[in-house]
Amino acid sequence: MTATRSRRRHRPFRSGLTCLLPLLLLLGGCASIIPGADRKPPQLYELRPTGGFAGKLPRVRAQLLVETPTASASLRSSRIAIKMQPTKLDYLADSEWTDLATNLMQTLLVESFDNSARIAGVARQGSGLRTDFLLKSDLREFHAEMYEGAPARIRIRLHVRLVRWNDRDIVASRTFEAAEILVGASNDAIVTGFDAAVDGVLKQIVEWSLRQMHRQRGRLTGR
């Protein structure tokens, strides 16, 4: 009788396991239908810092920290923004920047100042570098415009403020912008347009900032 009870006690377990195996196999076979499981990784794009500056740029014996630009939530993204209508923002499919647009611009600014070879030191804010000036900025436009009936173009607008570190005084501010006409509608052509527009904006910001810092340092030293 004991043996009979033992067999009865184990039968439900065997029965449950037998029913569970087909379910596990079914779930394994259906894994590919989970949303996003088969999504193709996006193509990643990066932009280049600028170089080839004006020959008469002053050499500045100062240290500069570059803040991450502030921006609206739509631009604090790695997705590549595109406008088909003036009041509607979309993003390129299957394509992204290698970093958030704001982080990307900070990196490009630091590397572009380095490329100028006209400043004693430059780094991101938070790097621990002793500094004389802080470059603050607001990324206000960073998108492709592809309006019906108008030439497709890249539009970039960055408002910059140069701050003296010791008293946090804004010594100069200016808005820099670029509009680069696109030569094609492919994702590669759009990114090429971004690269050209960013190059122009970076060149203007670096040259303007160096002249402003040189002027401020001259006032401090009486030169």
User: Which segment of 33-47, 184-198, 200-214 scores lowest on mean pLDDT?
Assistant: 33-47
Give the pLDDT confidence score for residue 219 in this predicted structure.
57
* pLDDT at residue number 38: 60
Please identify which residue in the block is written with the tokens 């030169």.
Answer: 223
Q: What is the pLDDT of residues 119-140, one digit of tens each?
A: 999 999 887 778 999 999 999 9
**pLDDT tens for each residue of 161-203:** 999 999 999 999 999 999 999 999 999 999 999 999 999 999 9
DSSP label of 31: G
Least-confidence region, from 19-23, 34-38, 202-206: 19-23
Q: 79-120: per-residue pLDDT in tens? A: 999 999 999 999 999 999 999 999 999 999 999 999 999 999
Domains of the chain: 60-221 (3.40.50.10610)
Q: At what angle do helices 101-116 and 187-221 cross, to 10 degrees?
A: 50
Q: In this structure, what token pair is assigned to residue 205?
A: 């910001």
Of the two residues 14 and 62, the one the predictor is more confident about is: 62
Q: Which amino acid is at 31?
A: A
In DSSP terms, which residues pair with 90 in a beta bridge?
Answer: 82
pLDDT of res. 47: 98
Q: Is residue 11 scored above 60 in pLDDT?
A: no
Mean pLDDT across 42-68? 94
pLDDT at 10: 47
pLDDT at 119: 96
Closest C-alpha to 63, from 218, 213, 204, 168: 213
